[in-house]
Amino acid sequence: MTKVSELAYNKCFAATPEDLGEVAVLYGGVSAERAISLISGQAVAHALKELGVNVNAIDVGENVIEQLSDASFDTAFIALHGVGGEDGKIQALLEYLGKPYTGSGLAASALAMDKLKSKQVWQAEGFSTPPYLCVNADSDWQAVMNTLGAEVFVKPIHEGSSLGMSCVDNAVDLKNAYQLAATFDPKVLVEQRIVGAEYSVALLNGQALPPISMLTSNSFYDYQAKYESNETRYQCPCDLSAEKGDEIQAIAVKAFNALGCSGWGRIDFMQNKDGDFFLLEANTVPGMTEHSLVPMAAKVVGLDFKALLLEILVDV
Ligand SMILES: Nc1ncnc2c1ncn2[C@@H]1O[C@H](COP(=O)(O)OP(=O)(O)O)[C@@H](O)[C@H]1O
Ligand SMILES: [Mg+2]
């Protein structure tokens, strides 16, 4: 199903810690996903140090312009999730500073961070994504339910980690869910619930890694299921047939490219009962702890955490 491994190994052996120079690991940040980014950044910095890379770990604060202007580094490994780190802002600053960085460029990062704009691009390119409506405080909540169906997801457009998100099945709960989402982002999306299995596909330097399936006993893959629960089950390789696996990988590569994304990332999918895949969102800086999804998929093609980091860094 996946053909990354040997090529990837050859490439990462070509990169030595000396080639990389001083690597700034940018982590923490001020977004709602700070707690996860602290773990990602510490894992990345620790592994790079063990490889002998000269690491400058920077916990990014409000004074990021000053911090990066004053810091010594040749390349930046961006381990910041969410607003400020995954949305094009830090990428723009690094462009001004003339420093190469991991992952997608600033325009693709901004586009991928916007769940609405991503869906619009995907729809225009003929990909399936759940039907949706944009809502505001004056929306007719019953009309939204009538249009989208029995169960809907309410999402802040620019958030991640399932923060501010709810799944509801009636107009009263929908209004409350809107109010919660709006505390995270004034722009809110309501999406039809796709009932079925959930998958995620990691992208690495132009290729898709094996799909991962996520199974939760919660009502959906919420913050608790993602980061706190021991009950959430991940499978990689997963239960998809070889044919369906190829199909989801091909969609992932094309959907990632359609947004202009590059380097590494992850695309989240739902599959309905008929077996059709629906694109949920693209993540340009997904979780990077040793237990995160991208490292899990990389391991299946023979890339351990350190090799994965070198693979991400080698092409910046
Ligand atoms: N339209 C949908 N149908 C079914 N489940 C959904 C839908 N949208 C989101 N979910 C569930 O919510 C989770 C988080 O949604 P997602 O769009 O990936 O945002 P986040 O950026 O918070 O990860 C998904 O992993 C999935 O479990
Ligand atoms: Mg997601």
Model pTM? 0.94
Choice from 162, 188, 218 to test ligand 1 binding pocket (greatest atom count within 8 A of CB): 162
DSSP states along 109-176: HHHHH-HHHHHHHHHHTT-----EEEE-TT--HHHHHHHH-S-EEEEETT--TTTT-EEESSHHHHHH
Ligand nearest to the CA of 151: 1
Confidence of residue 1 (pLDDT cuts 50, 70, 90): very low
Instruction: Say how far apart CA 306 and CA 47 lie, in whole Å.
Output: 6
* Encoded amino acid at 96, one letter: Y
Q: What is the pLDDT of residue 174?
A: 98
As a whole number, the mean pLDDT across the chain is 93
Ligand 1 site residues (CB inside 6 A) read 130, 153, 160-162, 165, 191-194, 198, 220-221, 268, 270, 280-281
Per-residue pLDDT, averaged over 181-200, amounts to 96
Domain edges within the chain: 5-103, 112-127+194-314, 132-192
Dist. CA 8–CA 176, nearest whole Å:
47
Among 151, 221, 277, name the best residue to mutate to test ligand 1's pocket (greatest count of ligand atoms within 8 A of Cβ): 221
193 has catalytic annotation: no
Q: 261 with 118: CB under 8 angstroms?
A: no
* Average pLDDT of the segment spanning 61-70: 97
Cα torsion at 115, 121, 125, 129 (round to 10°)?
A: 20
DSSP 195: P
Q: What is the pLDDT of residues 251-301, one digit of tens each?
A: 999 999 999 999 999 999 999 999 999 999 999 999 998 789 999 999 999
Does 96 participate in catalysis according to the annotation? no
Tell me the average pLDDT across 189-214: 97
- Give the ligand whose atoms come closest to the C-alpha of residue 220: 1
**14 pLDDT above the threshold of 60:** no
Q: Please report where in the chains the tokens 């619930």 appear, as a residue.
A: 193
At 57, which amino acid appears?
A
> Does the annotation mark 159 as catalytic?
no
- Which residue CA neighbors atom 14 of ligand 1 most closely? 162
Atom 2 (ligand 1): residue with closest C-alpha? 193
pLDDT tens digit string along 144-178? 999 999 999 999 998 877 889 999 999 999 999 99
184-212 mean pLDDT: 96
- Ligand 2 center to residue 160 CA distance, Å? 7
CA of 167 relative to ligand 1 center, distance in Å? 9
Kindly state the helix (H) or strand (E) to which residue 192 belongs, with its residue range: strand 188-192
Instruction: Considering the candidates 86, 191, 268, 311, report the single residue annotated as catalytic.
Output: 268
Return the SS3 of 271: strand
Distance 143 CA to ligand 2 centre (A): 27
- Atom number, ligand 1, closest to the C-alpha of residue 193: 3
91-95, 144-148, 214-218: lowest mean pLDDT where?
Answer: 214-218
Position 15 scores a pLDDT of 62
Angle between helices 5-14 and 305-314 (to 10 degrees): 70
Total residue length of the chain: 316
What is the rounded distance in angstroms from the CA atom of residue 293 to the CA atom of residue 235? 10
Angle (CA) 161-216-200 rounded to 5° is 55
C-beta neighbour count of 78 within 10 angstroms: 31
**Could you read off the pLDDT of 115-150 as tens digits, one per residue?**
999 999 999 999 999 999 999 999 999 999 999 999
Cα of 255 from ligand 2 centre, angstroms: 15
| Check whether domain 132-192 has CATH 3.30.1490.20, yes or no | yes
Mutate which of 133, 220, 234, 277 for ligand 1? The one with the most ligand atoms within 8 Å of its CB, which is 220
Half-sphere exposure of 125 (CA within 13 A, CB side): 18
**5-103: which CATH architecture?**
3-Layer(aba) Sandwich (3.40)
Domain 112-127+194-314 grouped into CATH 3.30.470.20: yes
